[in-house]
Amino acid sequence: MKNKIYPRAHDKQTVYLKDVITGANIDVGDYTIYNDFVRDPRDFERNNVLYHYPINGDRLIIGKFCSIACGAKFLFTSGNHSMQSLSSYTFPLFFDEWELDVKNIRDAWDNKGDTVIGNDVWIGYEAVIMPGVKIGDGAIIGTRAVVTKDVPPYTIVGGVPAKPIRRRFDNATIDKLEALRWWTGTMKKSSAVFPLFSRETLRHWSRRNKACRCRS
């Protein structure tokens, strides 16, 4: 994929996220888009990735062909006060004030590790992804959902905290999609590829799956 910020001419609200990221601890796959009609979407790293300080080494990993809606936020470990001590106050963070050893600064929070977003994930308007969450391929995150736990592939979640609403497809179709992993390799922009994503293809797969169940 060539360096290209805007997928569409005359649309400055949507960017290919990979080409506006500068931080070493953020990794975004090809064709993942972010739309922002309130702020400049090129400032995603500053406005949407919060408490992401280099001292922890935790990463934000976003796969290919994801769609991230306006105002979605990714919170990281450094904003997560420790609940393993008698006080939730971040004393180690203010080491100079309390004459503490700077080497213990990370004791101020509980480290949740990397946040990983799979491929073909749709994250809705103003959703919040909490530290260390893993979201599977093909999942959908509802508007203003607060995701505190891992989300299985091809699952729709919503609410506060986010809970599963339903799976997007039947199990047999999901198994096929997980085996296919259509986002891998080189995408050819041709009419031969995109019929795969049509509703008719989904209906065809569903009919075949039902027929197989009837014969079993």
The residues carrying an active-site annotation are: 81
Question: Rounded to an integer, what distance in angstroms lies between the CA atom of residue 107 and that of residue 72?
Answer: 28
Strands (E) located in the chain: 14-16, 26-28, 33-35, 49-50, 60-62, 67-68, 73-75, 115-117, 122-123, 128-129, 134-135, 140-141, 146-147, 155-158, 163-167
Count Cβ neighbours within 10 Å for each residue of 128-157 and write b for 16 or more, e otherwise. Answer: bbbbbbbbbbbbbbbebbbbeeebebbbbb
By C-alpha distance, which of 194, 202, 204, 210 is closest to 65?
194
Tokens of 37: 């009609």
